[in-house]
Structure 1
Amino acid sequence: MYRVGIITFHCSYNYGSVLQAFALQKYLETQGYSVKIINYVLTSNFEQYRLFRINRYKESLKYLISDLMFFVPNYRRKINFENFQKKYLSLSDKKFQDNDNMNSLNDEFDAFICGSDQIWNLDCTNGVNPPYFLNFAQKDKLKISYAPSLAHKTFSESFLNDLRNAIKNIDFISIREESTIDAIKGLTDKQIKVVLDPTLLLDSTQYEQVEINPKKNKDYVFVYMLENNTEFINYCNRYSKENNLKIYYLSQKRMSGLNGENLFGIKPEEFLRYIKDAQCIITNSFHATVFSIIYHKQFCTFPTLKSSSRMNDLLRELGLLNRFYNSDFKMNDFIDYDYSDKQLDSLRKESQNYLLEALSTLE
């Protein structure tokens, strides 16, 4: 049995991050591979999740005040995410961070995969971070990128030069967004494939195996807002009032003006079930959009400055661009999930084949 090591954002207290890590691991295991997620942490990226962000206190006392005020929900989030990681993610025995020497991993794995999530997003990693480009892997090891996101459409020449050098030793290259391929295809002679986010490699029946039912009344709207947006809040309040539905929402702080109950810190397993059982979902999150589609829900997606490209790519490919919010948007308009399922099934097979064909070179 071939051994595969995955390096990604697996330890973030973020629903999309842990679920995409789970999905890629799960899919490869179903294909007969021995899979572990490399327990690597980029400390600058993880800083935002610490209970006490001591390094920020010199900047402003507001960070200390916030950490004290939100200690209890932040602690609940920490426990719930770490429990999910322990239960569902197979982590490497050794933990690494930042510039640690990771060469010992070559004794443990036959192949390495970097991805998915925003491990190639310079905003998240402060430029090219070598471990996320498998710089530790020996020349004779198979190196694959699976759906890393660069997030942007345009890049500085400096970043492109760094990226050119970083990807030259990767044997099979794929990215998540069609909208970024033009910016980077000139950096290598290798074919660059656009593939699905790992969460879309699995179907609803596989996620049902990890769901936890929070046992809430199902007459609710589930709201997940990553960027504050007045129009978003107004629409949530208006729709819930017109349809006599409660609002359950996820936010690190109470959203001013949003009339609902904050579920901040719930378990990833509960996150899935809240989406599955909701009357509808209103979000500006890519992964909340993904799971709305997987569970065949009525949903509304608001574009954001940071993630509009990836949401636009996904909705366009599945024939669901009408689920983007605009002034004429109607939540209960018919969604042709028969069509989108056919599109998704085709894209899923292409993405699965990319992985399996790359890994078949081990034989």
Structure 2
Amino acid sequence: MKNNFRFATDHYVQEFVELQQIGEKYDLVMSGSDQIWNPEALDPAYLLEWAQSGKKISYGSSLSSKSIPAEYEHLFNDALKDFKAISIRDRMCRSALSRIVGKTVSTVVDPVVLLGRNGLLKNTVKITSSPYMFCYFLGNNQEHRKLAVLKASEMRLPIHAVINSGSDFKADKLLEKYADWDVNPWKFVSYINTASIVVTDSFHATVISVLCHTNFVVLEKDSSRPEQNNRILEFLDAVGLRERWGNMSQKVEISNEQWDYADRAIEALRRDSLEFLLEAIK
């Protein structure tokens, strides 16, 4: 964090008045990205109600929901109506949010995509020279871990994994012996970049796999909350790789033609998102 961020204050902000004081120092205040506008856990601080009117923009502020509950519509309207520009990451909520706020709402790519392949790989480190499978799961589904271990055995690959440290994630017990506990973001990217195959239920691990041209399979994180899958499925559809969803028995290798198509699709999405961002900050 010290190497990659310039912080507006040297202490943890606790009160709205502190946010207001910080906001006064800047020409623009931006919100974004991962689930910060999720109706199930809405925090007014992320709606930027503390920032001055006309100074607020959003980049990919994700709702991760298929709809906006009626009881929350007034909160979004009150908070977002004075935004200079609004973009979200979720296509399913765009028209509803635009109606609620009475403004144009754009959809943009996740900031990881905005960074691009070159930006993503500039700080990677060497992991290992031997082929391996990389596992990264966010959901608490033990069956997915079993499938990954079985697939690794079939492919005769060792496993590297980054796992949850919480005691409530009993499913990860199966992967503990493969886990690396000394991982920063760049090492995480490096694991994906040099893997023979990635098995995951994570949106960002999926996106990074595509940017790195790494073979992958992505499994459903939580069957009781299908809206959590929307962003993954939207991304896979956009890059022409929907076949990588939920199927451990499929062929491992993604063809060069598929990667070429994915690259072209990502570049088009990235270009459109950069145009939105540059226009918003004028």
Same fold (TM over 0.5): yes
Say if 2:16 is the partner of 1:100.
yes
Query: Residue 311 of structure 1 aligns with which residue?
Result: 232
3-state SS, counterpart of residue 212 of structure 1: coil
The residue correspondences of 1:133-212 to structure 2 (distance < 5 A) are 133-139=47-53, 141-212=54-125
Q: Which amino acid aligns with 2:239?
A: L
Q: Distance in 2 between matches of 1:320 and 1:352?
A: 23
* Structure 2 residues not aligned, in runs of 5+: none
Q: Residue 282 of structure 1 contacts residue 300 of structure 1 at CA under 8 Å; is this kept in 2?
A: yes
**Alpha-carbon distance change, 299 to 155 in structure 1, aligned in 2, over 3 angstroms:** same
Deviation at 1:260, TM superposition (A): 4.9
Say if 2:262 is the partner of 1:340.
yes
Q: Distance in 1 between matches of 2:153 and 2:247?
A: 19
Q: Which amino acid aligns with 1:353?
A: E
Q: Residue 212 of structure 1 contacts residue 269 of structure 1 at CA under 8 Å; is this kept in 2?
A: yes
Query: Residue 323 of structure 1 aligns with which residue?
Result: 244
Deviation at 1:236, TM superposition (A): 0.7
3-state SS, counterpart of residue 144 of structure 1: strand
| Cα deviation digits, residues 232-254 of structure 1 (max 9, x gap) | 12221121111110111111247
3-state SS, counterpart of residue 97 of structure 1: coil
Q: Which amino acid aligns with 1:166?
A: A
**Alpha-carbon distance change, 331 to 260 in structure 1, aligned in 2, over 3 angstroms:** farther
Q: Residue 23 of structure 2 contacts residue 29 of structure 2 at CA under 8 Å; is this kept in 1?
A: no
Q: Distance in 2 between matches of 1:322 and 1:314?
A: 12
Q: Residue 117 of structure 1 contacts residue 149 of structure 1 at CA under 8 Å; is this kept in 2?
A: yes
Q: Distance in 2 between matches of 1:93 and 1:228?
A: 36
| Cα deviation digits, residues 99-132 of structure 1 (max 9, x gap) | 3312222442111111111111234xx32x2221
**1:241 alignment partner, one of 153, 156, 176:** 153
Q: Distance in 1 between matches of 2:81 and 2:12?
A: 24
The residue correspondences of 1:9-28 to structure 2 (distance < 5 A) are none
Q: Distance in 1 between matches of 2:240 and 2:143?
A: 25
Q: Residue 300 of structure 1 contacts residue 323 of structure 1 at CA under 8 Å; is this kept in 2?
A: yes
**1:130 alignment partner, one of 17, 38, 44:** 44
Per the normalisation by structure 2, the TM-score is 0.89
3-state SS, counterpart of residue 300 of structure 1: strand
3-state SS, counterpart of residue 145 of structure 2: helix
| Cα deviation digits, residues 57-116 of structure 1 (max 9, x gap) | xxxxxxxxxxxxxxxxxxxxxxxxxxxx11111111344534331222244211111111
- Between 1:238-247 and 1:318-327, the stretch displaced more is 318-327
Query: Residue 131 of structure 2 aligns with which residue?
Result: 219
3-state SS, counterpart of residue 91 of structure 1: coil
Q: Distance in 1 between matches of 2:156 and 2:24?
A: 59
CA RMSD of aligned residues (A): 2.0
Query: Residue 30 of structure 2 aligns with which residue?
Result: 113
Q: Which amino acid aligns with 1:170?
A: F
3-state SS, counterpart of residue 249 of structure 1: strand
3-state SS, counterpart of residue 297 of structure 1: coil
Moved over 6 A (4+): none
Per the normalisation by structure 1, the TM-score is 0.70
Percent identical among aligned pairs is 28
Q: Which amino acid aligns with 2:164?
A: Q
Q: Distance in 2 between matches of 1:278 and 1:346?
A: 26
Q: Distance in 1 between matches of 2:4 and 2:33?
A: 17
Q: Distance in 2 between matches of 1:285 and 1:325?
A: 12
Query: Residue 195 of structure 2 aligns with which residue?
Result: 278
Deviation at 1:333, TM superposition (A): 4.7
